[in-house]
């Protein structure tokens, strides 16, 4: 998948790696992979910032992320 430069910089950052590790340690599973279908830009916040914010929120609220991925639904890019 192609990732925009602004998103790539955030996804490769030390802070992002730390969040992924904390999430996996806390909940016993990896956070779902980044994709533009489930994590899109919101206003001035790029998609990777939205993704990072959601991980931070999960860790703060002590709740794992629960969502049915749009990526895997019927009619998505995978369902062809």
The confidence score (pLDDT) of residue 1 equals 75
Distance CA(24)–CA(5), nearest Å, equals: 26
Structure confidence by residue, pLDDT tens digits, 6-50? 999 999 999 999 999 999 999 999 999 999 988 889 999 999 999
Average pLDDT for 62-75: 73
Distance CA(30)–CA(22), nearest Å, equals: 9
Instruction: Please say whether the beta carbons of 20 and 30 come within 8 A.
Output: yes
Task: Band the pLDDT of 80: cuts 50, 70, 90.
Answer: very low
């Amino acid at each position: 998948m192609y990732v925009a430069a602004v998103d790539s910089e955030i996804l490769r950052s030390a802070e992002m790696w730390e969040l992924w590790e904390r999430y996996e340690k806390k909940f016993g599973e990896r956070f779902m992979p980044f994709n533009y279908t489930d994590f899109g830009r919101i206003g001035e916040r790029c998609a990777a910032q939205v993704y990072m914010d959601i991980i931070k929120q999960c860790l703060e609220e002590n709740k794992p992320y629960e969502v049915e991925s749009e990526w895997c639904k019927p009619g998505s890019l995978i369902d062809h």
